[in-house]
Structure 1
Amino acid sequence: MSQNAASPTLDDMFRRIVAREPGLMALIDPADKMRITGQAPQRLTYAEADRAIAALAAHFTAAGLPVNAVIAVQMPNCIELFLTILAAHRAGLVVALLPQLWRQAELTMALNRTGARAIVTTSRIDGVNHADLAMAAAAEAFSIRYVAGFGSNLPEGMAPLDDVMAAPPIIETAARQDSRRAAIVTFDVTAQGFRPIPRTHLHMAAGGLVLALESRLPQRATLLSAMAPTSFAGLASSLVAWLLSGGTLALHHPFDIEVLERQINELGCDALSIPAGLAMRLSEAGVLAGAPRLQSVLAHWRTPEQVFSSPQWGEASAALTDVYLFGEAGLLAARRPDNGAPLPIKLGVHGVPREAASSSTAGETLLTSNGTLGLRGPMVPIAAYAPDAPSRMDIDSAPPDYVDTGYAARTDRATGALCITAPPPGIITVGGYRFLSQDLLEWAKRLGHGALLTALPDKLSGYRLAGRAADNSKAREALSELGLNPLMVEAFRDSSSQADERQATLTVH
């Protein structure tokens, strides 16, 4: 077990469940995994998952990756991602989560910024050759010494992991991760630009506890997550909530509504973790009303200023918990009462669960002198947002007292409720991705005179990118050659229903 037994690592939590209930179903792949990666979907018990994790951890150690090295991971919402994260922790590594839509420019920046020693990916995701992307980005990152992947037809020089995972471990690898040291790195965009956000196991556990306790996630629950686990909230509401519940984590690769509805019903899901816009859409369509066991829905608001303008929740059997996301800085959670209206949040210390007579501190909100929302508490990596943090990966230096989220906020004079009024200026949130508006303008300028790239409101993802150029097809080709995120590329779409449908799919990842 870890050196700090009083505060378990994520792998410690997993192995405690293995010791208690090895035959319990642990992980279930998306039903349409064959479409996503070309591989058949799997179901693993805790004992089977533990054997795969041990084999991968031993392989990482044998490959020469030193303890506390950063291993970057770009994978879809499938079983292999969660096995890789836990295996990396068992080998004493720090996992940097790379969003699926990132292409070479962003991948290279992230690898260089974190000093990653390795990158793990899948041969293809939704028809895109991610193995080649990883190899190209690794070639531009001086620190990379090891590249590996799952799936078939991997390029030369990339270590295949499917056979490794299926074989007995080469050596026994002890869990050497200290729960107080960095475990997960996600990435954020603030007014100061792109920055890595390292978090400890304790940070991660704190975020997962807030979500599990506030939503009343039952023990041994079957939790279906449709959140891409490349953000703090996405991982806390899937991996960490699953480990805290000790139940089954079922995965949905965003988004196929028919597949999602089938999974909810056939798996008998107790809880669902999805973007808020999709939760409202499913409720309006009556998809959730017929779910036989669904008790709880975690609705993630990437645009928290929109919570109080949302419709009332009408599902009698499944309670909705609003999850307010403030980039990678932290989150707040509030379970809606029986009337289905959002629960007001007030400044100060927040306990969890809120209605309990005695509760643990989930965090604290405050108003800064700039009229913005500040966060502090056990899940908030304050040092990562210090002014000099973008140039380092050290989370142990003396930090300021709180993180300024940049969200404009005020209190209601009559009720004292906290009102979030606007997102951070100069930052555009599209689904799970954040961009500096200045960067969008700079990329548009590269396309010539008259080109424009901007954000428009979108019901499902908050905002979507829209572009205009003299020749949209040539603009898409140019942006693709520059290695940019498809959200930018597809912004210059043709005026056709097919292109619009493609844009909607991209924006909600």
Structure 2
Amino acid sequence: MLQNNTSPTLDELFGRILARQPDQPALIDPPDKLRVTGQPPRRLTFAQADRAVSALAGHFIEAGLPPNSVIAVQLPHTVELAVTVLAAYRAGLIVALLPQLWRHAELTVALNRTGARAIVAMGRIDGVDHAELAMNAAAEAFSIRHVCGFGSDLPEGMVPLDLAVDNSNTGNAGLAVQDSRRAALVTFEGSGSGFRAVPRTHVNLIAAGLAIFLESGLPQGATILSAFAPSSFAGLTSSFVMWLLSGGTLAMHHPFDERVMIRQIEADGCDTLVAPAPLALRMAEAEALSSVRSLRHIIGLWRAPEQVGSSALWPQTGIRMTDVYLFGEAGLFGARRADDGTPSPVMPGPYRAPPEVPASSTAGEIVLTTKGTLGLRGPMVPVAAYATSDGPSDAFASLSPPDYVDTGYAARIDRTSGAITITAPPSGVMAVGGYRFLADDLQEWSRRLGQNAMLTALPDRLSGHRLAGRAGDNARAREALAELGLNPLMVEAFRDRTVATD
């Protein structure tokens, strides 16, 4: 691994852990991986992971991928994802994360938007042929030169990467010089002009990981179970980056099977669970976590941060919960819950991690904008990615663009406490779990299905919204949307619903 004189990259953080504890467990696959991907689960030490990373990085370089080119990755929450991301960084590449539910339409747009030179996919995920999806999307992206995949029965023309990872002939020859100030990750945000590609450097990612890691008080050498899909900035930061900061073990869970999750926490002795906050609260209220003796920390991620203030008390004694407020791809911040289980107040201005240490570093700043919305600034926030206007009317609005990102979430100051209260999500944007849709997009797709068709987003406590559709023939509507290459959230909105009778 070639070093530089700047701040470390994520791969260099991995190298520091490797030097200290090469034989310690690093990565653990979901126990139901065979069902999900058809591949047996794997457990890798840091030394084993390093050999796989070097072999795969060498493959990317030998394939002719130049440094700073984009490699698109659509993989499940398995060992292959972590190894591919580290290998891309070791080869000097930029990783573009593609959500698992994206199908042909979204994949094609993302590949063309980023100018990706390669795409890496899994053969099958939960019975869906992702290898074929990747091949079809790559055929419509002129920049793609390499289509690679993990798993068996890959289509003709897709390069199998399992052989590269298992290759023991590794070395540092030809590896790129790593620079933490260059782009490392690209994720995607819905905007008025369609998908916005949001790039981040290694420094941005480490800053975000530290904000969560220090706020939650995680110990060094933590064993982290991540049950949050790593297909976004928050997903990768709360699992992959925190694993490298703690120098411990990352166990991955394919969301969501609560029984499998509990068994996995117990079997691997996990002390930290990263999961959607509403799911963690529901499990705690049902006393599903009370029997797990090793668990000490919950990192609860809120895709709908306006719900934190009205959420239930954290009832679990002996386990500390940290609420992590997510604002799409713009940024995040964390707040550890009080001893009585109530959410901690969020004050405007700079916030530190951990907050009780006066000399701790500033993790970021929370701003209340003149529009009555919440803004973010700080080392993790990619202001430049959001600086471009979505319409010509904004072109000359200001000669001095703001040094913060307006998240669009409505917010106000509580007169009694002085804390910020987030009251509503951005208008016109619907969040279904980790996937964000524009309301106009939903209306456009429903219009394509005929005059009597309807597609809308309904409030949902667990996932923010859920999609519901109605058409004259739901089966034909599902077929039409699938043929258009839309993701299954839209397709299954038109599932047939039966009404129970007494």
1:50-129 matches, within 5 Å, as 50-129=50-129
**2:6, 2:180 within 8 Å by CA — same for their partners in 1?**
no
**1:191, 1:427 within 8 Å by CA — same for their partners in 2?**
no
Instruction: Give the CA deviation at 1:496.
Output: 4.2
Q: Residue by residue, what CA displacement relative to the aligned partner does 1:406-456 show, whole Å, maximum 9, x if unpaired?
A: 000110011101010100000000000000000000000000012111111
Instruction: Give the CA deviation at 1:367.
Output: 1.3
- Cα distance change, pair 297–175 in 1 and its aligned pair in 2 (3 A): farther
Q: Which residue of 2 aligns with 1:365?
A: 366
Structure 2 Cα separation of the partners of residues 25 and 194 of structure 1: 38
How many residues are aligned here? Answer: 491
**1:303, 1:423 within 8 Å by CA — same for their partners in 2?**
yes
The one-letter amino acid paired with 1:29 is D
Q: Secondary structure at the match of 2:81?
A: helix
Q: Secondary structure at the match of 2:26?
A: strand
**1:222, 1:247 within 8 Å by CA — same for their partners in 2?**
yes
Instruction: Give the CA deviation at 1:89.
Output: 0.4
Moved more, 281-290 or 438-447: 281-290
The one-letter amino acid paired with 1:363 is G
Q: Which residue of 2 aligns with 1:469?
A: 471
Q: Secondary structure at the match of 2:309?
A: helix
Q: Which residue of 1 aligns with 2:266?
A: 265
**1:89, 1:183 within 8 Å by CA — same for their partners in 2?**
yes
- Cα distance change, pair 412–60 in 1 and its aligned pair in 2 (3 A): same
Structure 2 Cα separation of the partners of residues 157 and 292 of structure 1: 49
Structure 1 Cα separation of the partners of residues 148 and 102 of structure 2: 18
- Cα distance change, pair 409–388 in 1 and its aligned pair in 2 (3 A): closer
Q: Which runs of 4+ in 1 moved over 6 A?
A: none
Q: Residue by residue, what CA displacement relative to the aligned partner does 1:208-237 show, whole Å, maximum 9, x if unpaired?
A: 001111111111110000111111111111
Q: Which residue of 2 aligns with 1:332?
A: 333
**1:191, 1:426 within 8 Å by CA — same for their partners in 2?**
no
Q: Residue by residue, what CA displacement relative to the aligned partner does 1:79-103 show, whole Å, maximum 9, x if unpaired?
A: 0001000000000000000000000
Matched, 1:492 2:494: yes
Instruction: Give the CA deviation at 1:401.
Output: 0.7
**1:11, 1:175 within 8 Å by CA — same for their partners in 2?**
no
Q: Residue by residue, what CA displacement relative to the aligned partner does 1:226-278 show, whole Å, maximum 9, x if unpaired?
A: 11111111111111000000000000001111101101111111101000111
The one-letter amino acid paired with 1:327 is G
Structure 1 Cα separation of the partners of residues 6 and 220 of structure 2: 21
Q: Secondary structure at the match of 1:404?
A: strand
The one-letter amino acid paired with 1:230 is S
Matched, 1:241 2:242: yes
Structure 1-normalised TM-score?
0.94
Q: Which residue of 1 aligns with 2:423?
A: 421
Structure 2 Cα separation of the partners of residues 169 and 227 of structure 1: 34
Q: Residue by residue, what CA displacement relative to the aligned partner does 1:32-56 show, whole Å, maximum 9, x if unpaired?
A: 0001000000000000000000000
For the aligned residue pairs, the C-alpha RMSD in angstroms reads 1.5
- Cα distance change, pair 497–27 in 1 and its aligned pair in 2 (3 A): farther
Structure 1 Cα separation of the partners of residues 136 and 28 of structure 2: 31
Structure 2-normalised TM-score?
0.96
Matched, 1:315 2:316: yes
Structure 1 Cα separation of the partners of residues 30 and 170 of structure 2: 30
Structure 1 Cα separation of the partners of residues 271 and 235 of structure 2: 18
The one-letter amino acid paired with 2:467 is L
Q: Which residue of 1 aligns with 2:395?
A: none
Moved more, 368-377 or 112-121: 368-377
- Cα distance change, pair 56–448 in 1 and its aligned pair in 2 (3 A): same
Instruction: Give the CA deviation at 1:389.
Output: 8.9
2:435 paired residue among 430, 433, 449 = 433
Q: Residue by residue, what CA displacement relative to the aligned partner does 1:334-365 show, whole Å, maximum 9, x if unpaired?
A: 00011000000011001111122321111001
1:455 paired residue among 438, 454, 457 = 457
Instruction: Give the CA deviation at 1:192.
Output: 4.1
Structure 2 Cα separation of the partners of residues 354 and 175 of structure 1: 38
Structure 2 Cα separation of the partners of residues 130 and 258 of structure 1: 26
**1:383, 1:400 within 8 Å by CA — same for their partners in 2?**
no
1:129-168 matches, within 5 Å, as 129-168=129-168
**2:131, 2:155 within 8 Å by CA — same for their partners in 1?**
yes
- Cα distance change, pair 109–25 in 1 and its aligned pair in 2 (3 A): same
Q: Which residue of 1 aligns with 2:231?
A: 230
Q: Which residue of 2 aligns with 1:380?
A: 381
1:180-329 matches, within 5 Å, as 180-329=181-330
Q: Residue by residue, what CA displacement relative to the aligned partner does 1:112-133 show, whole Å, maximum 9, x if unpaired?
A: 0000000000000000000000
Structure 2 Cα separation of the partners of residues 497 and 381 of structure 1: 48
- Structure 2 residue runs of 5 or longer lacking an equivalent are 392-399
- Structure 1 residue runs of 5 or longer lacking an equivalent are 391-397, 499-509
Q: Which residue of 2 aligns with 1:505?
A: none
Structure 2 Cα separation of the partners of residues 168 and 497 of structure 1: 58
Seq. identity, %: 64
Structure 2 Cα separation of the partners of residues 175 and 218 of structure 1: 32
Q: Secondary structure at the match of 2:125?
A: coil
Q: Which residue of 2 aligns with 1:408?
A: 410
- Cα distance change, pair 491–35 in 1 and its aligned pair in 2 (3 A): same
The one-letter amino acid paired with 1:446 is R
Structure 1 Cα separation of the partners of residues 122 and 183 of structure 2: 25
The one-letter amino acid paired with 2:481 is L
The one-letter amino acid paired with 1:411 is I
**1:30, 1:250 within 8 Å by CA — same for their partners in 2?**
yes
Structure 2 Cα separation of the partners of residues 250 and 421 of structure 1: 35
Q: Residue by residue, what CA displacement relative to the aligned partner does 1:12-45 show, whole Å, maximum 9, x if unpaired?
A: 0001111110000000000000010000000000
Structure 1 Cα separation of the partners of residues 498 and 199 of structure 2: 41
- Cα distance change, pair 79–198 in 1 and its aligned pair in 2 (3 A): same
The one-letter amino acid paired with 2:22 is P
The one-letter amino acid paired with 2:135 is M
Q: Residue by residue, what CA displacement relative to the aligned partner does 1:174-193 show, whole Å, maximum 9, x if unpaired?
A: 35221001000011113443
Q: Secondary structure at the match of 1:116?
A: coil
Structure 2 Cα separation of the partners of residues 106 and 191 of structure 1: 15
- Cα distance change, pair 389–353 in 1 and its aligned pair in 2 (3 A): farther
**1:37, 1:126 within 8 Å by CA — same for their partners in 2?**
yes
Structure 2 Cα separation of the partners of residues 383 and 2 of structure 1: 29
